[in-house]
Amino acid sequence: MTSSDPVTVRLFGILREQALKHDGHTTLTLEVEVSGTAALQIALSLGLDTDLIEGVFVNHTVYGLDHPVLPGDRVAFVPVGTPGPHRFTLGLYSAGRSRDSSAD
């Protein structure tokens, strides 16, 4: 069952460029399960290349792709290639490491 509160998804960097070439939408709204949907599943459903995703912001906090997205959340997929100091400041370094360790 999905909720009536849509999730807002934004794409940045190379993900944004790919979306512009594909369908022209870089900000989307979509419905997710009331119990939540992993950010990874959302990325796959949007046809995003997950190898290009460094982390995902959910409600202004960065997480790995395994983080659940709930109805009404605001989501932003951040691509690889964010400059070094910003990766630490934003928490992308930790988000990427949690993704790498989940593959073990």
Over the chain (104 residues), what is each successive 10-residue block's mean pLDDT? Answer: 82 84 84 95 91 90 93 91 58 51 46
Domains of the chain: 7-102 (3.10.20.30)
* pTM recorded for the entire structure: 0.75
**Which of these, 41, 101, 102, 104, lies nearest to 77 by C-alpha position?**
41
Of the candidates 57, 36, 37, 56, the one whose C-alpha atom is nearest the C-alpha of residue 99 is 56
